[in-house]
Homo-oligomer: A and B are copies of this chain.
């Protein structure tokens, strides 16, 4: 069974002091830390392309896993909605070249936002099993600094740039359990880009997440024959401190099991869940973790992963 073997990441060192940015919009430190959740927002350099963030994350994965040779990689999927080029070619092809991965590589991009990691792990595992592949890289990189207007108070205090790389293969310490997905395109206009600039209706997105995510997690647990106490940690998309807190409270049982860790990263879109897993899961005593991503589309996905 194909599972999650290792996760690495790249978070730019440079970035914005979010307290200073908040002050510009009349927001105090309590708001920035308590509601937004992030004191610092990493920002890629202007010359760094999305593929460069991917390359950094994959190189970190190679450094952590010297037994993983680039010649052994047979599939690369990049989850992004802010790729290098205008529509085509796909960013995964550019990453193949920059990393010197073999040309026998299967490579494509998946277009999803904050739900992208949950979809992505099932997409790559499924593709590998359907096509008989052995070693896959799922890369997330959606640098919103390319599209966020620094004068838009609804978005500029929220998003941070980052990339992650997940190695999937056999003999993995973490396996994928049951998953559930959802899509509601009637809310597509709540998160979109027009003329190169990102727009978010934060109130609508907050309400959607609060309505959808706790119920979705309860349904997933119910269909899996699990109780909330069977889950050691809930690693949900870090949209903002306020949404993580609100979902945790609405879920009712053990809100303290909802991991919140975005002070130094901001909302990193599809990278937020793998950043949590990289940092908190592998060295933990956790046996079973619930994931939930939600955002652009509108789109959501929840899954249970468990220690092999």
Contact = CB atoms under 8 A, between A and B. Distances in A.
Given A96-B183, A106-B183, A296 B89 contact: yes
A87 B94 contact: no
Nearest to A128: B126
Which of A90, A95, A98, A198 has the most CB atoms of chain B within a 10 A radius of its CB?
A90
Contacts of A147: 87
Interface residues of A, number: 67
Interface string A57-100: 00000000000000000011000011101111111111111100
B108 A123 contact: yes
A34 B281 CA distance: 60
Number of copies: 2
Contact of A87 (B82, B96, B299): B82
Interface string A104-121: 111111111100100100
A187 to B, nearest CB: 8
A300 to B, nearest CB: 9
A176 interface: yes
Contacts of A105: 181-183
Interface stretch (A188-196, A229-237, A238-246): A188-196
7 contacts: A75-B181, A93-B188, A94-B185, A105-B183, A106-B119, A129-B130, A132-B178
Interface of A: 75-76, 81-83, 85-98, 101, 103-113, 116, 119, 122-123, 125-132, 147, 176, 178-186, 188, 191-196, 198, 296-299, 301
CB-based closest 6 A-B pairs: A126-B126, A97-B185, A106-B181, A126-B130, A109-B111, A93-B185
